[in-house]
A and B are shown apart, each in its own frame.
Chain A
Amino acid sequence: MTMNFYQKTLLKGFIVSNLLALFMVGLFKYTKLQDNGTLVFSIFVIVPLIMGIVSSWFWIKVDLKSKPIIGYSILNGLLAILLSYVFLREGVICLLIVSPLIFAFIITGAFLGRTMFRKNNQRLNVSVFSLLFVVFVTDSLSEHNYVNLVADEIVINATPEQIWKHVVAFDKIEKKDNYWLFQIGMPSPSQTTVTGHYKGAGRKCIFSNGYIFDEKIVTYDVNKDLTFDIIGQPLDPEIMGHIDILRGQFLLKDNGNGTTTLIGNSWYRLHVFPIWYYDIWAKSITRNVHLRVMEHIKVLSEKG
């Protein structure tokens, strides 16, 4: 079966844009421009934008209308995501999180490209590509460091003394996950064990898939403050190189009326940018980890 001009042109758009993206991401990763495998915003913004522009450079020859441009751009994004899964060994949930960003910028690039190439102004085309290239290089060479704290609190109908032992360690959480990312396979916190009840003791936070976060207790202020540093986190492709959980903390505040406010704090460092996008996800996931654990502590404490 031979391909007609339309099919060949479409195919060239898919192949060249994805090869270019692979080349750019590969170059970035293997030249190790960033420490700790940080993925800069250009990877998720400039690369898909260029993919959209490059594909439209081919597709303009067959005068694609808006509907096929959007449809083929989504297909192009899916292809890029599949290649990331194969070559970059990214996790499925990770790729699910990144996909809205990829689709939005590929489609933006495709329509930007269509308008650019219709004008047939070489100076404009060269200027746009040069600008995107400069942004990519500058961003790749810039230092990226982002640490944030997520804090949550709940009120428990029990005294700090009744709550404390469940804060330090607790048995398996049997309650069904109600956060959608946990329901589709992201590991959720399941159990916590300790090697001792003192500062310096080891603590393990075990997740639903068996992954373990190794922790060390750095503050052990009975009935008030349990703070622990994360000293080892699992080599899970969903989090590896994307987020480091640095420290966790439970604070107990006696409300003086038989109830206690339990505050959960987590500090984390993100290695994926742009922050305005990924921090929304990081906060949401961390918050739901907190709430699952804190609600379990509440149930155990209120049982007496």
Chain B
Amino acid sequence: MKKDSSFSFVVRHLSFLKHIPLFPQVFDSLLKIRIFVTKPYLLDWFDEIEAEVLSWDEADISLHRYGGLQFNYKGKEIGHLHSNGLLDVLYHKDTKLRLLKEGRIEPHHVFEKSGWISFYIFTNGDKDYAKELLKMAYDRRVAGNLLICSY
């Protein structure tokens, strides 16, 4: 998977800056400006992913605390999309292992041992796969919620 080297540099070496109010959001805006100039079609795909998630029951969006768009189910995060096309989604570790075997995703770019995964959107096919990844995480949350409710 081709990585965004400037994004990785900031995340690895300047991560302390995330504690400054608004810094992550401003950094994400800079990523948006870069995408706007270099790959504007990605912004249309981000809107499409956002519209898809918002069409699901009780799903909503918010700003992610470390920059990007956060997708929620009943107010709890299922994943977030950074404005360079990096999608991070949270799964159970078994699901993560299964997806890793499929070979399209990677362990999370920071929390490698957690249930989080990372996936870069480059192509139209990647955009569709990103929607699938979010739907899987959403369905797991809905199922988990139903299980809790049935008790």
Contact = CB atoms under 8 A, between A and B. Distances in A.
A and B: partners? yes
A107 interface: yes
Interface in A96-121: 103-105, 107-108, 111-112, 115, 118
Given A111-B63, A112-B63, A115-B61, A67 B40 contact: yes
A70 B36 contact: yes
B36 A67 contact: yes
Given A70-B43, A71-B36, A104 B61 contact: no
A177 B134 CA distance: 54
Contacts of B46: 66
B57 interface: no
B44 A108 contact: no
A65 B36 contact: no
Interface string A117-131: 010000000000000
A150 B125 CA distance: 52
Given A108-B25, A112-B63, A115-B62, A103 B44 contact: no
Contacts of A107: 29, 32-33
A108 B29 contact: yes
B63 A65 contact: no
Interface residues of B, number: 17
B30 interface: yes
B97 interface: no
**Interface core residue of A108, A111, A118 (most chain B CB under 10 Å):** A108
B47 interface: yes
B21 to A, nearest CB: 9
B33 A70 contact: yes
B26 A105 contact: yes
B22 interface: yes
Contact of B33 (A49, A104, A112, A115): A104
A66 B46 CA distance: 8
A67 B40 CA distance: 7
A227 B32 CA distance: 47
Interface string B16-31: 0000001001101110
Contacts of A74: 33
B62 A67 contact: no
A104 B63 CA distance: 16
B30 A104 contact: yes
Interface in B62-98: 62-63
A71 B29 CA distance: 12
Interface in B2-24: 22
A115 B62 CA distance: 6
B47 A65 contact: yes
A49 B29 CA distance: 12
B44 A115 contact: no
Contacts of A70: 32-33, 36, 43
A104 B43 contact: no
Contacts of A108: 22, 25-26, 28-29
Given A66-B32, A104-B29, A108-B25, 7 more contacts: A67-B43, A67-B47, A70-B32, A104-B26, A107-B33, A108-B29, A111-B32
21 contacts: A49-B22, A65-B47, A66-B32, A66-B44, A67-B36, A67-B44, A67-B47, A70-B32, A70-B33, A74-B33, A104-B26, A104-B29, A105-B26, A107-B29, A107-B33, A108-B22, A108-B28, A111-B63, A112-B25, A115-B61, A115-B63
Interface of A: 49, 65-67, 70-71, 74, 103-105, 107-108, 111-112, 115, 118
